[in-house]
Chains A and B, each alone.
Chain A
Amino acid sequence: MSEKLTPETDLTKPVIPAARQGKTSSRVIEHFVAPLEETPLAAIDNVDESEAPLSLWADAWRNLRRQPLFIISALLIIFVLVVAFLPHLFASVDPTSCSLNDSSEGARAGHPLGFTLQGCDVYSRMVYGTRASLMVGVFTTLGVLVVGGIMGALAGYYGGWIDAILARLGDIFFALPLILGAIVVMQLPAFRDNRSVWTVVLTLVIFGWPQIARITRGAVIENRNADFVTASKALGLSRFSALVRHVIPNSLAPIIVVASISLGTFIVAEATLSFLGIGLPDTVMSWGNDIAAAQPQVRNNPGVLLWPAVALSITVLSFIMLGDALRDALDPKARKR
């Protein structure tokens, strides 16, 4: 402790001190040296060539494969997709051949879940209803990804007035909650008179895109100033190419997660609109319509309402679980070694 600054020195101002000599101790300090064989020196910064190379997606896939949440949800989604494409493999009864003789009948051979008020087979309608619900979910998600993704990417990447305008535009649509907005739109004669899967998809896209736009914008902003983007520009890559080649691929992870969860919520939204009588027309078989139709007799015959509700909930749950599993697997914090 030989060299000390004088205590009066004002440390808030820069000082030019005398050369520092370091500290020595009055105590006897043992000088210990570990035997070399205990910690042999490794070469500086060698590449570990023992493990097989792994891309980020491959790495995520390896993580996912070990997650029960992912396995369960993926299997369920595959199953639901198969049912949607090939309903006749799962139900032999025609869901539209209803007979009032069977009105509200209970379960019997060939009709495991009984009949609706109109005498239609509940199980068969549940199976055939899959397609419409899933279509709404899938196509709305695709639409939202295209519209929201492009808007968000442009706003985030170019910033400035493009960002300001798109952000306000998003806010405007955000100020109208999905259901409220959908109510207004579905009232329009053009929509009211041509109700179909596509009008529902269009309506949900109109009010659903701002969310994806926000997520995309955030992810793009996070990446747009990354050194690897700057490096590419310095290599001569055009600004737009850098967006497409480097920024967007690196922004995909959070978008995929949100898209998966949104897909589930869009299916719920369709059901809610159908329940309110402004979703899919009665001619389209869907879970939402069946639940709405079963509503008046819910106290006498709850099964008619419950079965499509269960089918819908499991489907939605699978997509939400998938999103959760993807979030864990694609987490950039977990990724960095």
Chain B
Amino acid sequence: MSNHAKDETVKPAAPRADDAPLLEIRDLAITFETSNGPVKAVRNAHLTIMPGETVAIVGESGSGKSTTALAAIGLLPSNGRVSAGRIIFDGEDIANASEKRIIELRGNSIGMVPQDPMSNLNPVWKIGFQVKETLKANGLAGANSKERVAEVLSEAGLPDAAARAKQYPHEFSGGMRQRALIAIGLACRPRLLIADEPTSALDVTVQRQILDHLDRMTTELGTAVLLITHDLGLAAERAEKLVVMYKGQVVESGPALEILRNPQHPYTQRLVNSAPSLASRRLQSQKAKDALAAAVAELDTPADADTAPDTAGATPADAGHAPSSIPAAAAKPPAASLDGQRKGAQAGETILEIKNLTKVFKLRGALGKSSDFKAVDDVSFSVPRGTTMAIVGESGSGKSTVAQMALSLLAPTEGSILFDGVEVNTLKGKALFDFRRRVQPIFQDPYGSLDPMFNIYRTIEEPLKIHRIGDAKSREKKVRELLDQVSMPASTMHRFPNELSGGQRQRIAIARALALNPDVIICDEAVSALDVLVQAQVLNLLNELQEDLGLTYLFITHDLAVVRQIADHVTVMQKGRVVEAASTDEVFSNPKQVYTQELLNAIPGATLLV
């Protein structure tokens, strides 16, 4: 498939002339007043959206992508303002339009679908009320508003809409809430829809369904979409045009597939190299075993600016005929064949064996009646020393419960956990204490996993102190070593967690986990909360540490793309049960179960560059 396809066949009837842009942002600057003086969040931003077109802004957190989009609908926070530039909507500059004019435009000219479905619906009003209100505010309610509300909701893919309209948000699942928000965003048939990370908070399979639906609706209605996302793969899959933002500036923009295949700006190249979803795409296109080697090699290549080729000067025209689908940085030859080493390790003995593990929670019902909830149902797997086992599943799959039990923080209802041949369940006192020394966790939330009251030195020293290892002096030496191992400067030890970024905190958490020289590290969604580049960095670090220290990882994640980069074996879980278990290559190249296929299909951008 060519990236300059000229087919005009399926294009739906666009209501207006195609040559006038619907939204044009020029030289936009946005300034926030903070206690430390004004901060420029966006500088010289520019983008153009034609009627009916989907444009995606891609960037990390803090890149200014959401701020730019919010400015277009006049919803900047009260301390922010457009300090320069123009936002031209349908020929009218709305950057400094009156409040009255903006209110006129909102809803029926520019709609919005916000990010977090959990917090964006008012909990005290019924869904139907919140939809009707939108219609009313834009003069579209009319006499049969009730039917119209049901219609709008069912258009957004909400089953049994008339009855659902009478319910409150808390009676809806996350996916249903997002459908309601899409219904609200599109209720008044706006010509531009701003979708701010509309599915980031949802499970991957739900995310796919909702994006597909949004795609279809906006195509049918001829609505232009400004999609804000951190996921390059998702953006490339859903939009004709990409705008890449970095530190408040647009660094690259152009046709989606072209940017993906031939990124010009070094930052875009970094993004393309690091995006996990795209990495799996690349692996998928090659033969299984070589693919793994390549993936491991790529991970071991530091994604710093030095290795990126200097192509900044290339003209847009040059970009068109760069044929290689493999980004330049990945072309660097593998430094060492990790594959071979891992093979050797795989042959090693089993360090962690989970047999028929079951966990039943009692759910408290009305009047003291309780019902059983099987969070984990007859799960078995084993992890060979020195390898990575990934447990993949969506929310409610029981994957984290397995991790808790493997850490012996939660007692299983049935089944056994053998660590190095010893039953973990029955460990007590000294034996349990020694077990703790050999199995360590790393958690998801980098903001919650470090005690905010402890400085970094005390944080990393804590395990040594608990296990009475060394004296004050030797402990300090060890802390320095550990910080070095996770590539943090020694001066960090005097800092407090609130002074560090998410990725840095996660590296500190890794250092703490390493302090006792454990055999197994259990990573519970350890990289899920991180931006792509930082995520790649942390995965890279984990991989290197595994190689150097012979660590075994149990990697809990919802993200199959990450699995591709780190795991040797995969166990797919759904509703507490194991759906599929095999080597990573097998799962990716030949998924046996429908659910696994669904998960694989849900990886955005997975099939883009085949």
Does A associate with B in a complex?
A: yes
Asked if A189 CB lies within 8 Å of chain B CBs, one says: no
Asked, given contacts A33-B251, A53-B494, A228-B450, whether A44 binds B316 with beta carbons under 8 Å apart, the answer is: no
Assess the A47–B450 pair: CB atoms within 8 A.
no
A1-42 interface bits toward B, Cβ cutoff 8 Å, 1 = contact, 0 = none: 110110101011011110111111111011111111011011
Asked if B67 CB lies within 8 Å of chain A CBs, one says: no
Q: How far is the CB of A215 from chain B (nearest CB, A)?
A: 18
Assess the B266–A24 pair: CB atoms within 8 A.
no
A48 to B503, CA, bound (A): 13
Assess the A47–B512 pair: CB atoms within 8 A.
no
Assess the A45–B504 pair: CB atoms within 8 A.
yes
Q: Which of A1, A39, A230 contacts B11 (CB 8 A)?
A: A1
A56 to B451, CA, bound (A): 11
A32 to B533, CA, bound (A): 22
Q: Which residues of A contact B534 (CB under 8 A)?
A: 44-45
Q: How far is the CB of A76 from chain B (nearest CB, A)?
A: 26
Q: How far is the CB of B265 from chain A (nearest CB, A)?
A: 5
Asked if A100 CB lies within 8 Å of chain B CBs, one says: no
Assess the A31–B316 pair: CB atoms within 8 A.
yes
Asked if A249 CB lies within 8 Å of chain B CBs, one says: yes
Asked, given contacts A16-B601, A34-B252, A237-B466, whether A53 binds B10 with beta carbons under 8 Å apart, the answer is: no
Assess the A19–B610 pair: CB atoms within 8 A.
yes
Q: How far is the CB of B430 from chain A (nearest CB, A)?
A: 10
Total cross-chain contacts (CB, 8 A): 229
Asked if B124 CB lies within 8 Å of chain A CBs, one says: no
Q: How far is the CB of A296 from chain B (nearest CB, A)?
A: 53
Assess the B607–A21 pair: CB atoms within 8 A.
yes
Q: Which of A11, A228, A335 contacts B213 (CB 8 A)?
A: A11
Query: Which of B209, B270, B433, B597 has the most chain A CB atoms inside 10 A of its CB?
Result: B209
Asked if A265 CB lies within 8 Å of chain B CBs, one says: no
Assess the A235–B598 pair: CB atoms within 8 A.
no
Q: Which of B256, B437, B453, B498 contacts A22 (CB 8 A)?
A: B256
A75 to B286, CA, bound (A): 73
Assess the A41–B267 pair: CB atoms within 8 A.
yes
User: How many residues on the B side are at the interface (Cβ–Cβ under 8 A)?
Assistant: 112
Assess the A228–B264 pair: CB atoms within 8 A.
no
Query: Which of B254, B270, B610 has the most chain A CB atoms inside 10 A of its CB?
Result: B254
Q: Which residues of A contact B320 (CB under 8 A)?
A: 31
A227 to B607, CA, bound (A): 36
A202 to B439, CA, bound (A): 49
Asked, given contacts A16-B601, A44-B304, A228-B449, whether A34 binds B250 with beta carbons under 8 Å apart, the answer is: yes
Q: Which residues of A contact B610 (CB under 8 A)?
A: 19
Q: Which residues of A contact B492 (CB under 8 A)?
A: 47
Asked if A336 CB lies within 8 Å of chain B CBs, one says: yes
Assess the B6–A26 pair: CB atoms within 8 A.
yes
Asked if B409 CB lies within 8 Å of chain A CBs, one says: yes
Asked, given contacts A2-B7, A24-B4, whether A235 binds B463 with beta carbons under 8 Å apart, the answer is: yes
B196-236 interface bits toward A, Cβ cutoff 8 Å, 1 = contact, 0 = none: 00000000010001001101100110000000000000001
Assess the B312–A23 pair: CB atoms within 8 A.
no
Assess the B247–A39 pair: CB atoms within 8 A.
yes
A286 to B46, CA, bound (A): 71
Q: How far is the CB of A29 from chain B (nearest CB, A)?
A: 5
Asked if A299 CB lies within 8 Å of chain B CBs, one says: no
Query: Which of B213, B249, B255, B606 has the most chain A CB atoms inside 10 A of its CB?
Result: B255
Assess the B449–A231 pair: CB atoms within 8 A.
yes
Assess the A56–B498 pair: CB atoms within 8 A.
yes
Assess the A20–B608 pair: CB atoms within 8 A.
yes
Q: Which residues of A contact B157 (CB under 8 A)?
A: 11-12
Asked if A333 CB lies within 8 Å of chain B CBs, one says: no
Asked, given contacts A26-B11, A35-B312, A236-B466, whether A250 binds B453 with beta carbons under 8 Å apart, the answer is: yes
Assess the B451–A228 pair: CB atoms within 8 A.
yes
B148-168 interface bits toward A, Cβ cutoff 8 Å, 1 = contact, 0 = none: 000000000101000000000
A36 to B251, CA, bound (A): 8
Q: Which residues of A contact B467 (CB under 8 A)?
A: 235-236
Asked if B387 CB lies within 8 Å of chain A CBs, one says: no
Residues of A participating in the B interface, judged by any CB pair closer than 8 Å: 1-2, 4-5, 7, 9, 11-12, 14-17, 19-27, 29-36, 38-39, 41-45, 47-49, 51, 53-56, 59, 226-228, 230-237, 246, 249-250, 335-337
**Sampled A-B contacts (24; CB under 8 Å):** A4-B216, A12-B159, A20-B607, A21-B1, A22-B605, A23-B256, A24-B257, A26-B8, A27-B53, A29-B254, A31-B319, A32-B316, A47-B489, A47-B500, A54-B496, A56-B496, A227-B448, A231-B441, A234-B441, A235-B467, A236-B436, A246-B451, A249-B451, A335-B452
Residues of B participating in the A interface, judged by any CB pair closer than 8 Å: 1-12, 18, 44, 50, 53-54, 157, 159, 205, 209, 212-213, 215-216, 219-220, 236-241, 246-247, 249-260, 264-267, 270, 303-305, 312, 314, 316, 319-320, 407, 409, 432-433, 436-437, 439-441, 443-445, 447-453, 455, 462-463, 466-467, 488-489, 491-492, 494-496, 498-501, 503-504, 509, 512, 516, 533-534, 537, 594, 597-598, 601, 605-608, 610
